[in-house]
Structure formats: structure tokens, C-alpha cells
């Protein structure tokens, strides 16, 4: 009967699409490595996870690797699931700065303390732009106007409490503007925010360099500054520091594993990630996506994670976006 | 002239046997995921992205375009046959389409959806070739205040035609608005109505709401009636569209295309709003037989919205290709696919990679044709699904719905929400509340709210920003007209009111 055929097809394709999670035994060795992308397919964490999957396969062709998605609430749903896998040495979760913010913002019961930091992989920097028709020619112009009347300077960017908003908050602090008074127009992503900038509806915009670079090159947007320590090659713009605001921020991504790992498991995972990082497939992907390689493992990454948590916690509270 | 030459080159590149095979895979896969609630084209393309490592770009994009169009079309099949929209953009199709199917006109409904999708897709793709720059500048000029006015227009247009009883329509709309509030408020990051459940922080997915209210509610309702009444026998009917069907379909196809294409280009316009507006417009324009049939299965109510949702899919490609601006989830993932190849869609793409862009546009025409070839002969076959005994059919629907929703996020909370909404959908049917306004409220409510707040924030609290843009003023005036015309008409028709309100046994499918 037709419907049955359809149902069978449906079940098959479902199985294929959801990747039919196979067993995840503990211990190291030959069992499959699973990578959790704590976001829907298509986003940055998903992309990082799937790129890493390919690189893992090149680094160790014998090892089975699979990516699965646990979307929701800035990655904190995935984090909660990871917390339930205590001691599992075959599981990695892709995460990054956005998750640090989401944990604070959603008052997540599970925090990064319940994970084992494995490695930081990449960084991307943020860019501050104004529409081409804007009266503000430099960051100093914008800051001067901002100080006079913060409400009049509308800043378009991604979700409330996300990386773009954090940059806006740090900039306000550095400029001596109360972060709570920042008139931030939140969007579900950089694309939507871009529309308001191209239509000259808002005063300024903040997003990842990749989102705006093309439009800066074509002259539709003017770049006022980037959040990196040194100038970047993609756009001709000063760093925020050069332009007068002491703000530096990297939107970083990395891997954590469940808590309670055996020392041997932790070392095996770290070594495997290091091997993945050295593979040609990973190097090519980093270059192609315009990521900055910022590989860090062990205590170094754990310390970095700690300092980021303190910094983000402070600014999220000052922006008043804690729910 | 130049574009035409490039387009022909594009066809030359796309019409290889290998690429045709990719197009076929794409449309087949697209149709399949369109049929399944929960799994949409966006997710499918995302999961196939790793394929782009090993396939040449042109082939990959041909396949992706096929998935996109196929998904837009596939959703209509289950809408019409089972009153179970596979995608939120085919929800409106269920209203008239399912009624047609119950009257034995399933094949015609499926055919008008298939041909309408083809016509709309083809015209819209042609528009993509010639009108892209103009449409883009129009889309960019849309500010938050204009979106707010647009949402108001959609609200009034839809609510004034959908509900026979104003109070019940508003009650249903209210349900939708409340469901739409669940989750983190985008502007301030505060959680609303989440009851402390982390899985609700991102809100309830529109697919869960549509499937719960439509499909599960329907299944429960039918199940509750099975024992009391003999199952209605679905007449078999003719297999193909008759002359009258063609005559009644072609104008709605064109109007649907005209509505869908520009909305697709609007960031935040989406595929749903043009289907609402098309349905409302067709109902307003209906005369004679069509007017009598509206609410009982008018072919216009299928032809228009189906054309609109396919045209909007082509519209989405305008800002994507010319600005690198994704206006839908699928477009955002296509953008990621472009970046996989080191290509940045934007002003320079047409100059730097003409072969790829025109190959993709050509492949849209090919995919569209292939969809028609694939689906038209199947329409009478699909229509037979309705002859499956009810208990099996509806058990299948419940299974389908649960599978699809679980596949969405792999979240048990979603399933619980689905079944709660199913019960709500059952109760609404039981007490004669239409379900469509609830889904519409859930889609439009958050949009109206966020855009209103953005407009006010940008204007630093000055209310007059809402009427400062000419687009907003025009849209608000149209909304006012949509609100007032029924009143005026009723007042004028008062002396001899005979056919104004045709009685309807069941307000909503």
C-alpha cells in the first residue's frame, strides 16, 4: 500500500538524517568518537563540528567519528546533556564564547565547571561598522555622539547577550557610557542586522568580520574598528584599541569533554584533537573559512576558559540581560 | 541581452547527465522532506553540506536548489490529502485543499498545486534574472516600522476572511499569540512563559504548533467521531483538472506569484505571510461558484497560496545572490554552502563567478520542470491514499507527526508540547474554534512585537516613527481598508441579505 511505502521511506530517511546514534561506550581505543554540536545544523558550532569530523577522519582513518546536534538555548541544552555523560571518554562537545554568555543569561544549572576542557580551536573577530551614509567617519565621532545621548545611537547586531551585544557592552564601558543605556537592537543573526544597516535605519552595527567584510569592500558599509589585537587582512580598519577604545574580544570556539574523565582518557582525547589539528584537512578548512588558528590545550585552555567566564559574567550582568 | 547569453551558458553547464541526476536527487529528496512534518529543506541542505567537499559546486547547488523547490512543493501533498501541513508555508493550502479532497477533488487540488508551483517557480526565477536589482533595493528599504505595518496588514486581512464568528476567530488568535510569547524575548533576553523548562527557552517551533493543532487535533477529532457516525465515503472523482479548473486556477497562480516573489526577498517576510495574503485576496476576489465554494473546497484557495510559497522560494535567492543576505533558514544554509567553496555571495558574485550563478539559476528552471514531471502523474495515485481505512490512516498520521516533530530537535519536550497542542486542537474542533488563526497569530504575533519594539527603540521612543515611512503608511491604510470593507459591504447589503453568509457545517478542517 502506498502509505506504507511512504512510511518506510520516511523511516529510512529519518534514520539517515538523524544519524541514528550508535553506542558510545566508555574507555578509549577503537569505539566511535561522537561530537556534539549543541546547535541546529547550519550554525557556527555545527560547521566547526562537521569540519572537525572530516579532519578527524583524515587524521585517523580507522576511528569512526560522528556528529550529532542537540540544539537549543545557546547550547545550554547540549551542555546539560553532556553533564549526564560523566566519565565518557568518547564524547566531545563543540562550544565557545556564546555558550559562556548563554550559561549566565539563562541561569543554566549546569556550568562549564562540569566539563573537562580539551582544546581551544579557532577565533573570529568582530567588526564595528556604520552605514556608508552615516555622519560618523571614525570611531571617535561615534563615541562622541554616544556619550552625548546614548539612546540616539542604535546599534544593530545578533541575539541579546550574544557576542555582538557583549562587544557593545565592553565598548560602552570603555567609552564611559553606562552599558545599561546601550540602545541595542537584537536580531536572530548577522544577516537580519545587515539589512537595517544597508537600509541606513540604525546608527551602527556589530558582527563577525566575515558577515560584513564583503559590504565594507563594496563601500556599502564603513568599518570603524575590529576587536582583534592586530589589524586583520580582510578589511582595512583600525583595531578598536588604535581607534581609542580599550576593547579586545575574540569569538572563540573549542572542545570540552564530560567531567570525571580518567587521566588516560583525557590525554588520549587531547592527543587525538592535536592530531586532528595538525591534519591538512583542518588547515585547509581554517584557511577557507577565514578562521584564526588559536590552538590551546590542557591547563592553558582551562585558565583561558576561567578568565573568559569572569569577564563575560560581569558584562552580561552590567548589560542587564540576565533572565 | 547579456544576461540571456549568460543564462544560456548556464543551461549548457547544467544540462549534463550528471547534473540532471543531481537535480533529480534534489527534487525527490526535497519532496520527501517536504511531505514529512518537522524535517524541512533547511535541515536537509545542512546535513548534505559535507557532500559539497566531493562534488563540483554547480552540481551541489543544482541539488540544493532542487531540495528547496521540492520541499516547498512537497508540503502541499499531505496538507491536501491529510490536513497535515508538512511545512508551515503549506498550512493555508490545507484549508481549502483538504476540503476539496473530501469532496473527491484531491487529484485536482494536487494538480493545481503542482502546476501552480511550476508556473510560480518559473515566473519567479525569470524575475530573478531580470528584476533582481530593483527588488533588492526595495527589500533593503524596508525598515522595522514597515514590517510592523506589514504584520498588521496580514493580521487584519487574514482575520477578516478566516473566521465566520469573530469571537471564536479572536479566541483562536489569542491562543496563537500566547504560544508565540513562549521563550526568550529577543530584544531583552528575558525568558517568558517558559515555566523553568530549558527546552522552551527557544520558544515552541511553528512546525510543532501547526502539526499539533492541525494533524493531531484532526486525528483525535476523527477518532472521537468514528464510533458515532459512519465514515463518510470519499468520492473518487475525476483524475485530472477539467477546463473549469484551469480557468479558475490561472489567475490565482499569477496573483500568488506576484505576492510571493517580493515577500521572499524581504528579510523576515518569509513564505507564510504571502500565502496568508494570497488566500485572503482570493477569497475577496471570489465570485459566483468560487464564492459559494470558498470554505468548502475552492480550487482558488489552493492555487494561489501554493504559487505564493514557491514564488517566495525564488524571491529568497534575490538578496542571497546579490547581497549575501539570507532571508530564510534555507537561504542561510545555502550561504554557508557558498562559503564552503570560498565564494562570498554579494555584489561581486555575478561578476566573479558567472558560470556558477547562472548555472544555478538555470538549474532552478530544470528542477522546477522536473518537479512537475515527477508530481503531476502521481497526483491521482496520491489521491488514493484517502481510501485507506480511517483507523489506519489516522494512526499513520499520528506516527508521522510524532516522528517528524521528534526529528526536529530530538527533544522529548517537543513531543509533550505536540501532544498537549493536539489536545488543544481537538478541543478547538469540538467547540467550533477555527485552528488556522492560532497558527497565524503564533507566526505574526512575535514578528509584529519585535518589529514594533525595534522601530520604537531606533526612534528613541518617538511613536511617530511608525508612520514616517511611506511604505508603512500605505500598508496601514490597506489594513484599515481590509478591516472596514466587510463592514461597509454588510451595511450596504443589509436590505436584501440572502447570500452574504452561506451556512457552513464545519468552520474549519
As for the ipTM of the complex, it is 0.73
The set of residues, in sequence order, having a beta carbon less than 8 Å from that of A58 and lying 6+ positions away, is A279, A280, A281, A282
- CB contact under 8 Å between A186 and B189, yes or no, is yes
Does A10 map to a domain? no
For residue B28, the 8-state DSSP code is H
Q: What does the alpha-carbon distance between residue A301 and residue A231 come to, in Å, rounded to a whole number?
A: 24
Q: Say which of B144, B191, B392 has its CB closest to residue A201.
A: B144
Beta strand spans in chain A (E): 33-37, 65-69, 91-96, 115-131, 154-157, 183-186, 204-208, 221-226, 250-258, 292-297
Residues lower than pLDDT 50 in chain A:
1-29
Same domain as A141, residue A107: no
Q: Give the closest of B53, B190, B399 to A54, CB-based.
A: B53
Claim to verify: residue A311 and residue A286 sit in the same structural domain: yes
Which domain, by its residues, includes A133?
A: 124-226
Q: A180, A209, A226 — which closes off a domain?
A: A226
Supply φ then ψ for residue A296, to 5 degrees. Answer: -150, 135
Q: Which residues contact B85 (CB under 8 A, 6 or more apart)?
A: B37, B75, B78, B79, B91, B93, B94, B210, B211, B214, B215
Q: Do A44 and A96 belong to one domain?
A: yes
Residues of B in contact with A74 (CB under 8 A): 201
Kindly give, in sequence order, each residue whose CB lies less than 8 Å from that of residue B461, ignoring residues fewer than 6 positions away. A151
pLDDT tens track for A249-293: 999 999 999 988 888 888 888 888 888 898 888 888 888 777 888
Final residue in a domain of this structure, among A207, A226, A245: A226
Nearest to A17 among B47, B184, B323 (CB): B47
* Domain count of the fold of chain A: 2
**In a shared domain, residues A117 and A134:** no
Beta strands A154-157 and A204-208, pairing class? parallel
Query: What residues in A contact B107, CB-CB < 8 Å?
Result: none
pLDDT of residue B418: 93
Q: Show Cβ contacts of residue B374 under 8 Å, excluding neighbours closer than 6 positions.
A: B27, B28, B31
Q: Are residues A279 and A215 in the same domain?
A: no
Three-class secondary structure assignment of B177-199: HHHHHCEECCCCCCEECCCCCHH
Indicate which CATH number applies to the domain containing A162. 3.40.190.10
Closest Cβ–Cβ partner in B29, B198, B267 for A76? B198
Q: Is A24 helix (H, G, I), strand (E, B) or coil?
A: coil
Phi first, then psi: give them for residue B188, nearest 5 degrees: -115, -10
Residues A83 and A102 in one domain: yes
Residue A201 makes CB contacts below 8 A (sequence gap 6+) with A156, B143, B144, B458
Q: Which of B173, B170, B116 is nearest to B305 (CA)?
A: B116
Residues A51 and A113 in one domain: yes
B186 to A186: CB separation less than 8 angstroms, yes or no? yes
Q: Residue A80 falls within a domain, yes or no? A: yes
Round to whole Å and give the CA distance between A158 and B504. 47
Most B-contacting residue of A52, A190, A198 (CB-CB within 10 A), to test interface: A198
Does residue A305 lie in a domain region?
Answer: yes
Distance from CA of B199 to the nearest CA of A (A): 7
Whether residue A150 sits in one domain with residue A82: no
Q: What is the CATH number of the domain that holds A44?
A: 3.40.190.150
B399 touches chain A (CB under 8 A): yes
Q: What is the spatial distance between Cα B368 and Cα B351, in angstroms, rounded to a whole number? A: 26
Q: Is residue A153 part of a domain?
A: yes
What pLDDT, on the 0 to 100 scale, is given for residue B347?
63
Q: What is the dihedral of CA B464, B468, B469, B472, to 10 degrees?
A: 40
A13 and B187: CB-CB below 8 Å? no
Q: Is residue A283 part of a domain?
A: yes
Give me the helix-helix angle, A97-105 and A298-319, nearest 10°.
50
What grid cell was written down for B466? 511608525
A300 to chain B nearest CA, in Å? Answer: 31
Answer positive or negative: Cα dihedral of A189, B203, B193, B413. negative
Is A187 in the same domain as A157? yes
Contact residues on chain B for A186, CB-CB shorter than 8 A? 186-187, 189
Domain assignment present for residue A231? The answer is no
CA distance B252 to chain A (A): 31
Kindly state whether B36 is in contact with chain A, defined as any CB-CB distance less than 8 angstroms. yes
One pLDDT digit (tens) per residue for chain B, 509 residues = 467 787 788 888 778 888 888 888 888 888 887 777 666 777 777 777 766 667 887 788 888 888 888 887 777 888 888 887 777 778 888 888 888 888 888 888 888 998 898 899 889 888 887 877 777 777 778 888 888 888 888 888 777 666 667 788 888 888 999 999 998 887 777 788 888 887 787 788 887 888 888 888 888 888 888 776 655 656 656 667 788 888 888 899 999 999 988 888 776 667 788 888 898 888 888 877 777 787 788 899 899 999 998 898 888 888 788 777 777 777 777 877 777 776 767 666 777 777 777 887 888 888 888 888 887 887 777 777 777 787 888 888 888 788 878 877 778 888 999 999 999 999 998 988 888 888 888 888 888 898 898 899 888 888 888 888 888 999 899 888 877 877 777 777 766 544 444 444 444 43
Q: What is the DSSP letter of A179?
A: G
The three three-digit cell numbers of residue A268, written as one number: 588520549
Calpha distance B78→B86 (Å, rounded): 6
A124 forms beta bridges with A251
Q: Are A114 and A147 found together in one domain?
A: no
CA–CA distances in Å: residue B248 to residues B87, B297, B333 = 25, 13, 37
Residue in B39, B411, B458 closest to A201 by CB:
B458
| Within-domain flag for A161 | yes
Is A248 contained in some domain? no
Amino acid at each position: 500500500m502506498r502509505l506504507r511505502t511512504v512510511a518506510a521511506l520516511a523511516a529510512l530517511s529519518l534514520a539517515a538524517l538523524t544519524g541514528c546514534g550508535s553506542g558510545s561506550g566508555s574507555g578509549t581505543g577503537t569505539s566511535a568518537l561522537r561530537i556534539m554540536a549543541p546547535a541546529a545544523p547550519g550554525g557556527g558550532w555545527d560547521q566547526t563540528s562537521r569540519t572537525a569530523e572530516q579532519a578527524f577522519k583524515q587524521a585517523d582513518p580507522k576511528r569512526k567519528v560522528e556528529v550529532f546536534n542537540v540544539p537549543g538555548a545557546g547550547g545550554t541544552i547540549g551542555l546539560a546533556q553532556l553533564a549526564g555523560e560523566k566519565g565518557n571518554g568518547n564524547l566531545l562537545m563543540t562550544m565557545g564564547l556564546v555558550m559562556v554568555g548563554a550559561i549566565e543569561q539563562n541561569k543554566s544549572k549546569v556550568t562549564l565547571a562540569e566539563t573537562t576542557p580539551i582544546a581551544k580551536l579557532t577565533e573570529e573577530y568582530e567588526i564595528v561598522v556604520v552605514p556608508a551614509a552615516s555622519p560618523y567617519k571614525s570611531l571617535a565621532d561615534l563615541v562622541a555622539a554616544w556619550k552625548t545621548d546614548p539612546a540616539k545611537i542604535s546599534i544593530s547586531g545578533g541575539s541579546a547577550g550574544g557576542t555582538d551585544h557583549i562587544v557593545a557592552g565592553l565598548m560602552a564601558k570603555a567609552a564611559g557610557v553606562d552599558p545599561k543605556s546601550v540602545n541595542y537592537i537584537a536580531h536572530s543573526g548577522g544577516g537580519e542586522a545587515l539589512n537595517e544597516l544597508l537600509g541606513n535605519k540604525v546608527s551602527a552595527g556589530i558582527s563577525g568580520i566575515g558577515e560584513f567584510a564583503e559590504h565594507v569592500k563594496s563601500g556599502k558599509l564603513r568599518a570603524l574598528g575590529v576587536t582583534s589585537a592586530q589589524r586583520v587582512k580582510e578589511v582595512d580598519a583600525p583595531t578598536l584599541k588604535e581607534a581609542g577604545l580599550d576593547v579586545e574580544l575574540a569569538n572563540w570556539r573549542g572542545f570540552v569533554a564530560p567531567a570525571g574523565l580518567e587521566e588516560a582518557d583525557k590525554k588520549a582525547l587531547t592527543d587525538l584533537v592535536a592530531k586532528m589539528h595538525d591534519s591538512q584537512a583542518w588547515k585547509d578548512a581554517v584557511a577557507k573559512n577565514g578562521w584564526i588558528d588559536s590552538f590551546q590545550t590542557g591547563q592553558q585552555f582551562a585558565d583561558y576558559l576561567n578568565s573568559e567566564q569572569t569577564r563575560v559574567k560581569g558584562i552580561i550582568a552590567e548589560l542587564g540581560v540576565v533572565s | 541581452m547579456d544576461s540571456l547569453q549568460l543564462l544560456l551558458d548556464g543551461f549548457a553547464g547544467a544540462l549534463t547527465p550528471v547534473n540532471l541526476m543531481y537535480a533529480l536527487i534534489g527534487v525527490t529528496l526535497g519532496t520527501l522532506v517536504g511531505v514529512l512534518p518537522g524535517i524541512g529543506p533547511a535541515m536537509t541542505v545542512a546535513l548534505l553540506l559535507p557532500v559539497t567537499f566531493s562534488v563540483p559546486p554547480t552540481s551541489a547547488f543544482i541539488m540544493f536548489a532542487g531540495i528547496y523547490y521540492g520541499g516547498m512543493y512537497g508540503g502541499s501533498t499531505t496538507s491536501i490529502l491529510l490536513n497535515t501541513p508538512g511545512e508551515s508555508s503549506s498550512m493555508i493550502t490545507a484549508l481549502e485543499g483538504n476540503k476539496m479532497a473530501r469532496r473527491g477533488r484531491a487529484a485536482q487540488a494536487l494538480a493545481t498545486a503542482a502546476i501552480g508551483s511550476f508556473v510560480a517557480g518559473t515566473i519567479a526565477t525569470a524575475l530573478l534574472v531580470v528584476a533582481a536589482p530593483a527588488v533588492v533595493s526595495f527589500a533593503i528599504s524596508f525598515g522595522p516600522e514597515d514590517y510592523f505595518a506589514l504584520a498588521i496588514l496580514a493580521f487584519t486581512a487574514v482575520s477578516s476572511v478566516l473566521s465566520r464568528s469573530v469571537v471564536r476567530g479572536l479566541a483562536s488568535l489569542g491562543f496563537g499569540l500566547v504560544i508565540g510569547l513562549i521563550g526568550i524575548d529577543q530584544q531583552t533576553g528575558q525568558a517568558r512563559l517558559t515555566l523553568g523548562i530549558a527546552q522552551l527557552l527557544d520558544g515552541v517551533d511553528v512546525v510543532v504548533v501547526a502539526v499539533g493543532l492541525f494533524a493531531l487535533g484532526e486525528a483525535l477529532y476523527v477518532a472521537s467521531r468514528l464510533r458515532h457516525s459512519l465514515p463518510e465515503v470519499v468520492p473518487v472523482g475525476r483524475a485530472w483538472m477539467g477546463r473549469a479548473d484551469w480557468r479558475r486556477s490561472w489567475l490565482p497562480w499569477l496573483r500568488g506569484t506576484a505576492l510571493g516573489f517580493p515577500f521572499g526577498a524581504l528579510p523576515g517576510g518569509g513564505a507564510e505571510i504571502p500565502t496568508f495574503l494570497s488566500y485572503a485576496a482570493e477569497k475577496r476576489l471570489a465570485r459566483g461558484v468560487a464564492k459559494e465554494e470558498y470554505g468548502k473546497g475552492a480550487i482558488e484557495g489552493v492555487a494561489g497560496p501554493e504559487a505564493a510559497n514557491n514564488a517566495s522560494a525564488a524571491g529568497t535567492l534575490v538578496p542571497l545572490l546579490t547581497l549575501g543576505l539570507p532571508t530564510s533558514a534555507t537561504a542561510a544554509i545555502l550561504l554557508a554552502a557558498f562559503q564552503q567553496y570560498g565564494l562570498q555571495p554579494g555584489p561581486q558574485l555575478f561578476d566573479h563567478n558567472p558560470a556558477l550563478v547562472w548555472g544555478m539559476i538555470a538549474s532552478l528552471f530544470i528542477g522546477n520542470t522536473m518537479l512537475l514531471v515527477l508530481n503531476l502523474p502521481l497526483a491521482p495515485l496520491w489521491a488514493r491514499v484517502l481510501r485507506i481505512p480511517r483507523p489506519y490512516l489516522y494512526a499513520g498520521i499520528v506516527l508521522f507527526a510524532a516522528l517528524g516533530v521528534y526529528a526536529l530537535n530530538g527533544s522529548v519536550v517537543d513531543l509533550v508540547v505536540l501532544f498537549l497542542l493536539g489536545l488543544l486542537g481537538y478541543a478547538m474542533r469540538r467547540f467550533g474554534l477555527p485552528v488556522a488563526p492560532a497558527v497565524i497569530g503564533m507566526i505574526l504575533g512575535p514578528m509584529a512585537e519585535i518589529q514594533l519594539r525595534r522601530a520604537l527603540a531606533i526612534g528613541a521612543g518617538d511613536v511617530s516613527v511608525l508612520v514616517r515611512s511611506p511604505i508603512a503608511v500605505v500598508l496601514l491604510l490597506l489594513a484599515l481598508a481590509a478591516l472596514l470593507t466587510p463592514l461597509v459591504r454588510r451595511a450596504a447589503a443589509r436590505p436584501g441579505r440572502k447570500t452574504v453568509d452561506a451556512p457552513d457545517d464545519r468552520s474549519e478542517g
